[in-house]
């Protein structure tokens, strides 16, 4: 089964411990993610995520819900949340944790329902994979929004990773494409998954949102070049 995230989440949930997930990219190697991070409670969440959960309203679709940490907080606050996750193992864990509304699906295959808030956290923009892929994602999310609905999405500007001390860049931005388009590989034990992953700066997100019919407002800016944005359909 090619599901490192779901396998790790299930093992941690059942045993109380699991090896870290190992992330490699075309820019970095062997970055570790503790599986416990997917089980953080409201107090353990960064301020950006707390802000996003405060902004949620109405019926909520939590996209890429993983172990359901955000959905659980919302549900405990008596909010109407549906957790969508493509990993069957992760959804199995969410159900056992008591999350009432879950859907096993790739977001691109999900349709036929509408929500007041669509929530994409933990670098939710990354799901797009590339800038053009993010456009495709936003076009797909549009009909899933009720009138007056909102998309809450986060990402980071990772340009600082490529800057030298003198301010020059060690990659050629003119020829290498957008620096935030990355190739990821995630490994848990002997289970591996490879995919494209996007980090997008706010200005480019705003431009991409406008091109897909959304207005885009920055709602929070973190200390590490991360930010939360709210997208609403232009009337």
Residue 162's pLDDT is 77
Q: Which pairing describes strands 80-85 and 59-63: parallel, antiparallel, or unpaired?
A: parallel
CA–CA distance, 186 with 192 (Å, rounded to integer): 6
Residue of 193, 186, 87, 195 whose CA lies nearest to 133: 195
CA–CA distance, 60 with 149 (Å, rounded to integer): 10
In angstroms, what is the C-alpha Rg of the chain? 18
For residue 27, name the pLDDT band (cuts at 50, 70, 90): confident
pLDDT, tens digit, 9 for 90 and up, residues 151-161: 999 999 998 88
Residue 54 has pLDDT above 60, yes or no: yes
Residue 169's pLDDT is 58
Residue of 120, 116, 92 whose CA lies nearest to 107: 120
> Between 216 and 29, where is the model more confident?
216
Spell out the domains of the chain, with CATH numbers in brackets.
Answer: 4-233 (3.40.50.150)
Contact 71, 83 (CB under 8 A): yes
223, HSE (Cβ side, Cα atoms, 13 Å): 2
């Amino acid at each position: 089964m090619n599901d490192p995230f779901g396998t790790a989440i299930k093992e941690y949930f059942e045993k109380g411990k699991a090896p870290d997930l190992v992330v490699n990219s075309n820019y970095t190697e062997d970055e570790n993610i503790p599986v416990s991070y997917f089980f953080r409670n409201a107090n353990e969440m960064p301020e950006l995520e707390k802000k996003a959960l405060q902004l949620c309203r109405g019926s909520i679709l939590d996209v890429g819900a993983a172990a359901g940490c955000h959905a659980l907080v919302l549900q405990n606050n008596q909010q109407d949340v549906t957790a969508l996750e493509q990993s069957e193992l992760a959804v199995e864990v969410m159900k056992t944790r008591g999350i009432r509304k879950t859907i096993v699906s790739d977001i691109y295959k999900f349709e036929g329902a509408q929500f007041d808030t669509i929530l994409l956290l933990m670098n939710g923009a990354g799901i797009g994979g590339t800038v053009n892929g993010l456009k495709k994602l936003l076009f797909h999310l549009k009909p899933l929004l009720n009138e007056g609905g909102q998309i809450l999405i986060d990402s980071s500007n990772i340009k600082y990773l490529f800057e030298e001390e003198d301010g020059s860049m060690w990659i050629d931005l003119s020829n290498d494409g957008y620096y935030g388009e990355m190739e990821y590989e995630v490994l848990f034990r002997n289970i591996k998954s490879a995919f494209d992953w996007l980090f997008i700066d706010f200005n480019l997100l705003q431009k991409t949102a406008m091109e897909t019919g959304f207005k885009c407002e920055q709602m929070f800016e973190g200390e590490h070049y991360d930010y939360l944005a709210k997208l609403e359909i232009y009337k």
